[in-house]
Amino acid sequence: MKVLGTIDTFNKIKEKMESSRRMAYVRFGDGEILIMDNPERSEGFHRGSPEYQKELIDAFRIEHPDYLVALAAHSLEEGMGGSVFGAHSNEDFLKETARKLSSRDTYYNAIALHYLSLFQPRLFVDFVRSHIRTRKSAIIGGGHLIAAMEFFGSKLFLQTPGRDAFYEKKEWYPKLNEMLDREKPDILLCGVGSCSKTLIKDLWNEERELIMLDIGSVFDMIVGVNSRGWINESWSRIQDFRKACQDSAL
């Protein structure tokens, strides 16, 4: 099994965004893999269940060249270690579970955007400027993510529950479809935690002409919410990121 590096993954995301109006970058971390292995487990902001397990597995098994499945079992790169994108203690288990669930032999990097926002912030900021802000985009996620709209140049926002959003899908998913039908954005930036995977899967299966990016906790770093160890341990690099944003007038 091969997991591509951050730059290779980043370049593939850009390539697909440039060549296709329908693509997805979907990230599976240790929490999702644990639930896919055992529905009694939970991931930080989502409790497991047989129903949720099935939805995650279905999202994981989609095979399409424009549907980029990323796995959090990456090789270490410069600056990685400990809580800042260090290797998972259960990495062998993650890879073995992935092998049981799919015959896919190559995965994309689940922290490509996270890593580049810290270690190559100007590259990340240039990507936002050239590939996201030039198009019509929408953000979906917890209420605090409304603060990220200015950074990404988004004019549309849909709020979801901050925890266990999957189990309240009947409340917010119809509103999402209404917004997509009415506003027709080019890009959907997802920050619904673990539920982003099943959300992207549903929209993909509806064959919507939409670019979907599983942004994850990069959102939290951008809006100043200390939700993850990598954010807490990267204060000086986050200041470099903010300077890159200022220099680029983002």
pLDDT tens series, the chain, 250 aa: 899 999 999 999 999 999 999 999 999 999 999 999 999 988 777 889 999 999 999 999 999 999 999 999 888 888 888 888 887 778 889 999 999 999 999 999 999 999 999 999 999 999 999 999 999 999 999 999 999 999 999 999 999 998 999 999 999 999 999 999 999 999 999 999 999 999 999 999 999 999 999 999 999 999 999 888 899 999 999 999 999 999 887 7
**Vertex 8: Cα angle to 61 and 74 (nearest 5):** 60
Are β-strands 106-109 and 67-71 bridged in parallel, bridged antiparallel, or unpaired?
Answer: parallel
Range of the domain at 46: 2-247
* pLDDT of 222: 95
* pLDDT of 62: 98
**Nearest-angstrom CA–CA distance, 109 and 25:** 10
* pLDDT of 248: 80
How many domains is the chain partitioned into structurally? 1
* pLDDT of 133: 97
* pLDDT of 96: 94
* pLDDT of 199: 97
Residue 241 CA from chain centroid, whole number:
19
**Nearest-angstrom CA–CA distance, 70 and 108:** 4
If residue 13 lies in a helix (H) or strand (E), which one and from where to where?
helix 6-19
Are β-strands 67-71 and 137-141 bridged in parallel, bridged antiparallel, or unpaired?
Answer: unpaired
The predicted model scores a pTM of 0.95
Exposure on the CB side of residue 213, measured as CA atoms within 13 A: 28
